[in-house]
Amino acid sequence: MEPGSNKSSSRSSSSFRSQHGCTNCRRSRVKCDEQKPICTRCWQKDLPCRTLFRLKWESTYRDRGIAFGRSKSNRSPPDQRKSSTGAPERSSPFPEDTTWLAVPPVQPWTFVNNDTRFMQRLYVEEQGCAKPHLLPAVDARTALGELGPREPASALSMSPPSSDQLIGIKEAILQNLQSPLSLFPSLDGLGNQVLFDYYMNQICPRTVQSPLSMSPFASVILPYCVSAPPTVLQAIQALAACHWSQSDSRYSELSLRLKARVLNGLRHRINTHPQDIVTKDPEILVVMMFLCLYDIVDDCNQQWIIHLQGAKDIIRLRRRQQIASKGGNHDVQQDPVSSFTELFFAFQDVMGRTACGKAELFGSTYWGEEDTTINPWMGCSPALVSILFSIMDLSRSRQDIISEEGHEMFNARAAALINRLKCIKQESEIDGDNQVIQKIAELKRVTSIVYLNCALYGMTPSDSITKTYVRRILKDIVELLAMEPSCQVVWPLFVAAVELDPLDFAITLDPDTGKMTDGRRLVLELLMKMGRSSVSSVTRARVVIEQVWKSRDFCLSRSSRDKPSLTDLNDWEEFVMPVSDALSLA
């Protein structure tokens, strides 16, 4: 066969090649039938059949002078298209009369995000420059007062400063830039400043019921931290690391180390300066408040009650000392930090006792019956807390009633508390917070009615009144979390969950749509959603709720028993109190 025939046959065979043939057929220069998942030829020869796709660029085809896709081919090859200078001419997408501007040189000082190290390196590189960048137009030596007496302005304008003078000016400016005044000087030696930022940006906003409200942990505690001892700042860092460790386990070990330092510092302060216990300095109470919050966030273990009891003893000693120094005058003025720490411990005591029913540690003097102004941190007014305080006291005295007169007095006091709950009108001081804060205060008022019925009248989850209120509470919590996910409504959700009827599997939250949902599933979803933006013990509250549900399921056969007498254990005392010890619900 002649050589020419070989070329013609290969040319004819290549013209019949498929566009999407496999690699084996392309390598053998035969047509591929493109059968999937394996072509016929590869199947017969037992070869792996693969198809490779290559990206084709129009510019590459244009440079080679061949057609790209269905476009017309360039007849003349690129080496034949010459410019007037004899060099190959390339087609440009820009017009011929385009005016090109010179690109300005980009220097390090072009960028805004500079720091002192970057500026120092810049100055070192420009030591020989007569007019350095970033220097003010005035005499910097005179402005800083560090390089000798003032010289006339004409002297500077007539002759440029020498290189030694420039170096001195630069060093003076850098020294001034590198030593700014710190807002919290004690943090410079403690380290872990990111934890203090986490406290301000993540914890403080979570301690109020509405984002428009100012948290006392920021408005009261942060100004005190400007001059506070290092132990207070370490306590803040320990709390921040503990809260952060709930989502990032890398901070668990750091939080424990910081807590150990705070405990050692507090123990050393009390041992070396025992007189500070009765002084007006709020450092000890502030440190104990943050240690209490630490233990509440850390799965709400029993330790926070110890800090609560210690704070009660210290506050009582200070009150006694202050009254004695005032000549028996009980009207003692407190500084804002001490007032807030005492309010913190008293509110934790009241809300925790609603679940466990223990004796109070702090008295009722903190709660004014006529003060209906909503506290943004508590989410309700002191008047409502005073009603809760009275409900718990009356519930504790219920089992000691032995006479008819005692029964009548008990019923009269309970009816008075019901009337106070129905008539109380809580108001917010902040106009912009009305929509959220008013809903939260009203929600806690309704929850107090449920708690009163269960603690004083022995109502159970199967009662129609309890069912109505529980459904209303759950509906309001869903609406509130939709409006503001960070609102703190742990106590209303806890009361509604433990008083949820075990046989009430379907709850209608939206009457318009008629959508039904399971009550227990809804509670667990709300707890999960609330746990992402809460500083309270949501995890421990869920454990207690699940234990109450198990106990109720085990005792379903007794749900139709006769109503207990006034002195018998009621539903709340039988199912909720035994498993709610040391539970924080504030």
Instruction: Please tell me what DSSP assigns to residue 373.
Output: B
Distance CA 230, CA 191 (A): 11
Question: With helix as H, strand as E and coil as C, how does 286-329 read?
Answer: HHHHHHHHHHHHCCCCCHHHHHHHHHHHHHHHHHHHHHHHCCCC
Amino acid 553: pLDDT: 85
Amino acid 16: pLDDT: 54
Q: Is the pTM of this model over 0.95?
A: no
Amino acid 75: pLDDT: 47
User: What is the signed CA dihedral for 219, 224, 225, 230, rounded to 10 degrees?
Assistant: -150
- Range 23-63 classified under CATH 2.60.40: no
The domains of the chain are located at 23-63, 184-325+334-356
Distance CA 586, CA 575 (A): 21
- Give backbone dihedrals phi and psi of 243, rounded to 5 degrees, phi first: -65, -40
Amino acid 278: pLDDT: 79
Start-end of H helices in 38-179: 40-45, 58-64, 116-125, 140-144, 153-158, 163-178
Place of tokens 């200070």: 318
**420 sits in which H/E element:** helix 404-423
Q: 163-178 and 116-125 helices cross at what angle (nearest 10)?
A: 170
Amino acid 19: pLDDT: 73
Among 369, 384, 479, 463, CA closest to 426: 384
Amino acid 130: pLDDT: 38
Q: Are 437 and 486 spatial neighbours (Cβ–Cβ below 8 Å)?
A: no
Distance CA 391, CA 376 (A): 23
Q: Which residues pair with 508 in a beta bridge?
A: 516
Among 4, 36, 7, 1, CA closest to 22: 36
Mean pLDDT of each 10-residue bin along the chain, 586 residues long:
44 55 88 88 89 77 73 49 49 73 63 57 56 38 37 42 59 52 63 85 83 83 87 92 88 91 90 82 91 88 86 88 72 82 92 86 86 88 93 85 81 92 85 75 94 90 91 90 80 93 74 73 88 81 91 73 65 89 86
Extended strands (E) in 479-553: 507-510, 515-517
